[in-house]
Structure 1
């Protein structure tokens, strides 16, 4: 199933990424500045001129008391995590409910129900992360807060066996093109990179994450797409039609009034504000 990509890779529990990096540095200065002083900062605040160090120590103690690792949060500060989104899975489950109990089309009910449940489950645990240089895919515990994705290693999503092998992590420099179907009504995202294979490797993902945030982040961080992309503020049904050759062909047969209605239609009815 090419669309599902690495989503079916086995889940694993890994050590926090930033801690692994911190261990590799071997810097005694950083270890002394972060680890020992976190516990003692609030009770032994420095006296005299070193107020900034005391403030940093108090903040580290506060983060530790909240169950947050200050090392991880500092290293992951530039990381963007795309939240999960259940709309596609929910729509498919709704269609299944209509096809089965209402129309008694039980085969179609089974297909739509399985797909809907699978995508809803994946939306609860698959997270896209964007750093300043890379995109990677990680798994979190289903239903866990999105911020937990900051602490998870890329290896949690396993090897990308379905599409060329290797880790589910790609540098932006390796991306040669990306597409979004459809701007305004996000359903599927595609990108092609030459990191996995020199001749280029395509990847397809259903939009089981916040489509708007994903799109905005890709616009900001990824190389330009072959096809020009509208801003999120311009999203409507017309931009969705314009994103494909078939959609542009359909528009040629529409009246002026119908074309106006395309531009006036924004978002999924009942799902988008």
Structure 2
């Protein structure tokens, strides 16, 4: 789904017409839009009987096996039973038929020694846990996919949601 890429590109180009700060900010947002276009054409989110995984199109138009996670290592493949939460950001857009910017999920398959890496530090803090958060590894990615379809698959596969 190229919606997010198109929106970022259009907003970036529009901002480029503004003097001073608009050009720099517009150029950055346009570059993000181009990156989202490339990734939307290359990345696939695969749901099989037991897990959700991230795959990429190879040179032969066949999906390649999930690569190594660049943050914590291991394959980009997570069992549905390990999900403890998932959400879209901003919340509520998918229900209104609008595309979100990010897809978020938290899982317990990654070794717990890695859970506080990156955004996991705040998501697994004592304060967050006191407010009802469930411990786990945080993942998020730009919504370069059909958000309605991802939502339906998470629900159909029984992925837990707070």
TM-score bin (small chain) = 0.7 to 0.9
Q: How far apart, in 2, do the equivalents of 1:141 and 1:212 lie? A: 26
Q: Are 2:50 and 1:161 aligned?
A: no
Provide, for residues 174-217 of structure 1, a one-character-per-residue CA deviation record: whole Å limited to 9, x for no partner.
Answer: 11111123323322111111111235210001100111111111
| Corresponding residue SS for 2:161 | coil
Equivalent runs, 1:63-212 vs 2, <5 Å: 85-100=1-16, 102-104=17-19, 105-141=22-58, 144=61, 148-149=62-63, 152-154=64-66, 158-162=67-71, 164-181=72-89, 182=91, 183-184=94-95, 185=98, 186-198=100-112, 200-212=136-148
Contact 2:13 2:27 in 1 (8 A): no
Q: Which runs of 4+ in 1 moved over 3 A?
A: none
Q: 2:124 matched to which residue of 1?
A: none
1:223 deviates by 2.4
Q: How far apart, in 2, do the equivalents of 1:180 and 1:96 lie? A: 22
TM-score scaled by length of structure 2: 0.74
| Corresponding residue SS for 1:132 | coil
TM-score scaled by length of structure 1: 0.45
Q: How far apart, in 2, do the equivalents of 1:94 and 1:137 lie? A: 27
| Corresponding residue SS for 1:161 | coil
Provide, for residues 54-76 of structure 1, a one-character-per-residue CA deviation record: whole Å limited to 9, x for no partner.
Answer: xxxxxxxxxxxxxxxxxxxxxxx
CA gap 1:168/1:179 in 2 versus in 1, 3 angstroms:
same
Unmatched 5+ stretches in structure 1: 1-84, 227-273
Q: 1:224 matched to which residue of 2?
A: 160
| Corresponding residue SS for 2:145 | coil
Instruction: Please identify which structure carries the higher helix content.
Output: 1
Contact 2:87 2:105 in 1 (8 A): yes
Provide, for residues 99-131 of structure 1, a one-character-per-residue CA deviation record: whole Å limited to 9, x for no partner.
Answer: 11x323210121111111111111110100001
Q: How far apart, in 2, do the equivalents of 1:179 and 1:91 lie? A: 21
Instruction: Please identify which structure carries the higher strand content.
Output: 2
